[in-house]
Structure 1
Amino acid sequence: MYAASRDALSGTRTVLAETISAAGGDTATAAQQIGSDLFAVVGFLDSERSLRTAFGDISAPVDVRQGLANQLFGSQIEAGALAVVVEAVGRDWSNTSDLLSGLELLGREAYLKSASESGALDRIEEELFLLGRQVAGHPDLEIVLADKSRSAKARQELLATLTTGKVSAITEALAQQAIGRLFDEKPADVLDALSNLAAGQRDRLVAKVRASVDLTGSQVEALTATLTRIYNQPIVTHIVVDQDLLSGMVIRVGDEVIDGSGAGRLATIRKSLG
């Protein structure tokens, strides 16, 4: 996002936080409802080009854009989500795409706030990570989930075979919305990004570890402690067994990769000989 959109997102995020806080005792339910409503608004605007254009037209007076939002959504979504949408359309975004992406992100954050309030955030993070690994481990499935010739509903129904009754309602809502609104991203990457977003709600980095063998609990604890010292920030460690590594492990933290696997060392040797 350009600076204008970042400022618009920041201002709208403040309204989201205030709206959830104002809900009183049941903030988890309020946050989840806001997330659901924001996803519905994004889905509606995706199919209505003229309305997207109207809301993204920063030359139009703020009260006109906000009045249109109230007229369209006032009776369709709850007051909390409406306040967020009205604030968003009144802001000056760099482009319409950023406006929709911003509302989508805030919808995701509202769902994760709900998970945090109910004590389920760690579970959501783990479920999203494992779902992403499951999709990545089946290339044919990932191709079908990313196939734009299939309708969003068809791709979501396919994903439901992996999620329904197997993950929490919030994980399913986040994953379904993400798969239904894919652009050029790989499905597994989008699910990983959601897992990272969940970790970020607690200011933690995510270490994604592919190991040649399953690690014991004490080994995971030791690895997490080491990475926490290295990055000077709390780390959450996700482990996936990958026997193709031959030995050792590959650790990815953000964009940084530490390759200590047998396969990685073989690759380095082959490259040096080539």
Structure 2
Amino acid sequence: MLNLQLARKYSRAIFEIAQEEDKLVEYGKELADVRAGLDSVPEAAAFLSNPQVETKAKKELLAKMFAGELSANVSNFLMLLVDKRRIALLAAIEDEYRGLSNEARGILIADVTTAEPAGEAQQQAIRAKIAQVTGKKVELRLHEDKDIIGGVVVKIGDRRIDGSVAGRLETLKKELLANK
């Protein structure tokens, strides 16, 4: 719980800086790139999270890994995380930042699950329908799950819309059992 609160505070700080400079997308991409870079080299992430490693060595590693790729503010932000021993929160900070950035830009993230890979036309239709209902720009995160048999399941935040064949069969089963 404490880590989530800290992640929110740090993400809010970098978000406010990005908003002031009108660089929400750029800073978001940089944070995502750093996260992906550290995720792709687990040894580096372990090194940065190790409390026995000197702060100077951690900063040097980050500087070498991302030399020339980061803006001054994002680079300084990462160094601050190292100084405050919060670099392990980077994934949570990046998640929170992405949420704040999307909200500020009026973008809604929808998790869409289909039984088969969704084609471009199907994606466009889903995106258009959600945008029509919500009045926001929509980005889709696509998932596949053969268990839904057919149709689509859309999850937006904590709201779930089940238009799958499996969901309809389950509803029908409940109705039939209730009428016994």
- TM-score normalized with structure 2 length: 0.62
The 5 Å alignment of 1:1-274 reads 3=2, 5-23=3-21, 27=22, 30-93=23-86, 99-109=89-99, 113=101, 115-118=102-105, 121=106, 124-125=107-108, 128-129=109-110, 132-133=111-112, 136-138=113-115, 140-141=116-117, 162=120, 166=124, 171=139, 175=141, 187=143, 195-196=156-157, 206-210=158-162, 240=163, 245=168, 262-266=172-176, 268-269=177-178
Q: CA deviation at 1:42?
A: 1.5
Q: CA deviation at 1:36?
A: 1.1
Q: Which runs of 5 or more structure 1 residues have no equivalent in the other structure?
A: 142-158, 180-186, 197-205, 211-239, 247-258
Identity of paired residues, percent? 12
Rounded Cα–Cα distance in structure 2 between residues aligned with 1:9 and 1:62:
20
Which residue does 1:231 correspond to in 2? none
Q: CA deviation at 1:83?
A: 3.4
Contact 1:42 1:103 in 2 (8 A): no
SS of the aligned residue for 1:77 comes to: coil
Q: CA deviation at 1:241?
A: 8.0
Equivalent position amino acid for 2:24 in 1: A
Relative to total residues, which structure has the larger strand share, 1 or 2?
Answer: 2
The one-character-per-residue Cα deviations of 1:161-199 (angstroms, maximum 9, x if unpaired) are 549x94699836xx4xxx7xxxxxxx369x967x42xxx
Equivalent position amino acid for 2:178 in 1: I
- Cα distance, 1:264–1:78 mapped onto 2, change above 3 Å: farther
- Cα distance, 1:73–1:107 mapped onto 2, change above 3 Å: farther
Q: CA deviation at 1:107?
A: 5.0
Q: CA deviation at 1:263?
A: 4.2
Rounded Cα–Cα distance in structure 2 between residues aligned with 1:33 and 1:169:
19
Contact 1:65 1:89 in 2 (8 A): yes
Q: Which runs of 5 or more structure 2 residues have no equivalent in the other structure?
A: 128-135, 146-152
Q: CA deviation at 1:33?
A: 0.8
Contact 1:8 1:92 in 2 (8 A): no
Contact 2:59 2:82 in 1 (8 A): yes
SS of the aligned residue for 2:160 comes to: strand
Higher RCO (CA 8 Å, separation ≥ 6 residues): 2
- TM-score normalized with structure 1 length: 0.45
Number of aligned residue pairs: 162
- Cα distance, 1:208–1:106 mapped onto 2, change above 3 Å: closer
